[in-house]
Structure 1
Amino acid sequence: MSIQLPQKKATKAVPKDSTKTSIWSFMNRDIQFFEPKFGIKKKLVLYGQLETLLGSGLDIQASLELIEQSFKKKQDQALIRGLKESIVKGKSLSESMAELGKFSIYEQYSVQIGEETGRLHLILRDLSSFFEKTLSYQRQLTGALAYPVFVLSFSVLAVLFLLRYLVPMFSGIYGRFKQELPSLTQMVVNLSGWVGVLMPYLLISVLLLIVGAYSQREKLWYRKMMGWVLSHIPLFGGIIQKVYLSRFCQAMALLLAAGVPLLNALKLVQQMINFYPVSSSLKKTEQAVFQGAQLHEVLSQFDFYPPQALALIKVGEESGKLDMMFERLARQYTEEVDQQTAVIGSLIEPVLIVFLGGIVAVILVAMYLPLFKMSTSMGF
């Protein structure tokens, strides 16, 4: 049996993996906010239903006809219909997937292995499991980042609103009395004046920053910089690292368990995970392993991989159970991410609320302080 990894020339029409459509597109493409036309959730449904139907004895054509009816959107139905029509013309499922250009090389290669080994329904089960876990990783990451980002953004908008509209109303009233304002009040009034002047430029700068980041997202320097930034965010850097470690370990476990050679597995995972610390290290690792180096020895050269993970990978290489060790690591990191996000979420919520309340309180006290001072001087 000969299983060939799809070559670059043959997959020229295949777009990048749908998991690379960004939740924070200006930060990292692996984290999704808006799912692509045929994204992770839909692939999870496709592979799960196809595995169930094939396992029940239906042929692939009849299975795809039933799956087509389960999708509501016409574009999704057209995609499944395209797979079915290509198979009717005599092509294999993996060839049909490559022809449509909506599936990653990892998916094509996995299905090709299933077809040539007679284990297609098992490979489909693995693909369904992979996308289920990928969706879980994304939810973990967005769950860790979404709430703090939302609260901080709301805080900034609330403060800008107070400084831009509320403070000028009070300062106009106090200006009629022609009295010296308390230091705190004067400082807030001056800050309000600066905000009024700089706000248009601030909004334009933020817009240009987002557009510039989106246009540069493919560049090496940008990917390297954002990889470093995401890995060093206070409190969340460690969680982000473990999310990608879990994705790496889960992908390696599925590929190795399916019988994919280690070199091919490393090449495929590079294409699946666009996070720079992972993809760049795997590219160098693939070259070193090809020259005869041990996987754990090469990975130990990169700070991204913890010593505990390297120790288990070493045991897996020596025992011939590398896929089981990667599966164990994936479960371990997933559990750690769940625990850490729960703890940080419970701690950061009151901190952010107190922070926002404190800023608003300072502004309000500063605005009412002259009134208190005037009432005191008048003997009330």
Structure 2
Amino acid sequence: MSTIKKEKKREDTSSSLDSILKKEIKLFGNSFNSKKKEQFYTELSVLLTSGIRLKDAIYLIAESQKKKEDARLFQEIGDRIIAGDDFSKVLQENKNFTVYEEHSIRIGEQSGALEKVCNSLADFYTRKNQQRRNVISALTYPIIVLSTATLAVIFMLQFVVPMFKDIFKQNNVELPAITQGVISTSEWLGDYGWILLFVLSIFVISQKHLIKQAWYRSKRDALLLKIPIIGSFIKTSNIARFTQAVSLLVSTKVSIVQSIHLAKEMIEFVPLESALEQVEKDILRGKSLSESLKEHSFFDAKMIALVRVAEETNQTEFVFSRLNEQYNEEVLRKSKSFSTILEPIIILIVGIIVGVILISMYLPMFELGNVLK
């Protein structure tokens, strides 16, 4: 009896460990992210255009996957389609896919243009990933410079300043206010630095939970918009994503109200989400899209003017497509200038901090020279 209990306990432990490992794997980036979606929709579009049936295309994609988790996902989708479920229904019930994707695929199924919709979704994720790469490229070097400089400042405060402090104390040197301030900062960092590090670690770890809280996202996004240069860049990148989503949906004959609603589901930036929610309500009350957009400062005059032209000429798809191209070019331009501007600013700030530390340590040296004489 005890042997059976031990075996059962061992199985439970093994099962728990397996569950934890799966969670950890997912945590470190094995989820079905935007990069994988870009590849998936690109391959699916090519296969469908080649005349291959949907279920066969899904199975072919499943066979080409390197990771078992991804292969299992596509295998399950293929099995559901063979069982008689619509592709859009399968996506709706799978948490890896968004409402935007599910609705777009449903339109493709109903209109018989599934390959076109898949190609549009592939283009959407291609541009989304390109924006992300631009941001990473723009931030990588400044972050390296900032990290190195921060470590240098911490080293000076933790090791260099205390050495000078001991020398000044032994010789009873009267310290200027600036030197006293730097020494106080050094002492505070030595006493409470680990608490600061602990708080920062907790904050970083808790991001996964906080990001799901509406109040946190609202305050974070509002703060980001107020930061010079960064706020403008984030705003432009989100408008680019919005115009691309509307362009895709309008091209598949979705009404403008429904397009706004679905685009809102796709956007993960609270100020834009709130603005689109109000725009949707205004359109339902009888206002035109350009009039609704005009009431929100998030949208610039250029966009509002072109949307008005689109309404008058019935060229909504064309105008939003051109707007998307313009905003994408602006995002690319800003990402390049962002890195160019940020780097010297960081170097200047760090140079001032290091300069203040050095000056504060050398000023008492003159008094020390008089004491030694």
TM-score bracket, shorter-length normalisation: 0.7 to 0.9
Matched, 1:47 2:41: yes
What is the count of residue pairs matched by the alignment?
347
Q: CA deviation at 1:251?
A: 0.5
Shift of 1:143: 4.0
Corresponding position of 2:346: 352
Shift of 1:309: 0.5
Which of these residues, 233, 241, 244, is aligned with residue 239 of structure 1? 233
Are the equivalent residues in 2 in contact too, given 1:141–1:240 (CA < 8 A)? no
1:144 deviation in Å?
Answer: 4.4
Pick from 81, 87, 93 the counterpart of residue 93 of structure 1: 87
Rounded Cα–Cα distance in structure 1 between residues aligned with 2:198 and 2:46? 52
Gapped regions of structure 2 (runs ≥ 5):
1-26
Structure 1 pair 215–87 and aligned structure 2 pair: CA distance change class (3 A) = closer
Letter in 2 for 1:124: C
Which one of the candidate residues 274, 297, 302 is aligned to 1:280? 274
The root-mean-square deviation of aligned C-alpha atoms, in Å, is: 2.5
- Residues 46-86 of structure 1, C-alpha deviations (whole Å, 9 max, x = no match): 11011111211222233222212322111001011111111
> CA contact under 8 A between 2:173 and 2:368: conserved in structure 1?
no
Instruction: Indicate the residue corresponding to 1:14 in structure 2.
Output: none
What's the counterpart of residue 24 of structure 2?
Answer: none
Shift of 1:34: 6.8
Question: 3-state SS of the aligned residue for 1:114?
Answer: helix
Matches within 5 A, 1:242-257: 242-257=236-251
Residue in structure 2 matched with residue 62 of structure 1 by the alignment? 56
Determine which structure has the larger helix proportion and give its number. Answer: 2
- Per the alignment, residue 186 of structure 1 pairs with 180
Shift of 1:359: 2.0
How far apart are residue 256 of structure 1 and its match? 0.4
Residue in structure 1 matched with residue 130 of structure 2 by the alignment: 136
2:361 is equivalent to residue 332 of structure 1 = no
Q: What's the offset of the Cα at 1:341?
A: 2.3
| Cα contact 1:144–1:236 (8 A) shared by 2 | no
Partner residue, 1:17: none
Residues of 1 paired with 2:28 and 2:279: CA distance? 32
Which secondary structure state, in structure 1, belongs to the residue aligned with residue 153 of structure 2? helix
Cross-structure match for 2:109: 115
Counterparts in 2 of 1:18-33, with a 5 A limit? none
User: What are the ranges of 5 or more consecutive residues in structure 1 without an aligned counterpart?
Assistant: 1-32
Asked whether the equivalents of residues 171 and 368 of structure 2 are also in contact (C-alpha less than 8 Å), the reply is no
TM-score by length of 2: 0.84
CA contact (8 A) 2:168 2:368 kept: no
| Greater Cα shift, 220-229 or 255-264 | 220-229
Tell me what 1:83 maps to.
Answer: 77
Structure-to-structure mapping, 1:204-223, within 5 angstroms: 204-207=198-201, 209-210=203-204, 215-223=209-217
Aligned to 2:361: 367
Q: How far does the alpha carbon of each residue in 1:261-311 deviate from its partner, in whole angstroms, 9 at most, with x for none? A: 112111111110021111111112112212221011111111100111001
Residue aligned with 1:260, SS: coil
Matched AA of 1:57: G
1:200 is aligned to 194
Match of 1:73 among 59, 67, 80: 67
- Amino acid corresponding to residue 328 of structure 1 in structure 2: R
**Residues 265, 291 of structure 1: CA spacing in aligned structure 2 closer, same or farther, 3 A cutoff?**
same
CA distance in 1: counterparts of 2:268 and 2:74, whole angstroms:
27
Q: 1:35 to 1:262 in 2, by over 3 A?
A: farther
Partner of 1:298: 292
CA contact (8 A) 1:145 1:236 kept: no
SS in 2 for 1:90: coil
**How many angstroms apart in 2 are the aligned matches of 1:101 and 1:201?**
38
Q: Which moved more, 1:257-266 or 1:92-101?
A: 92-101
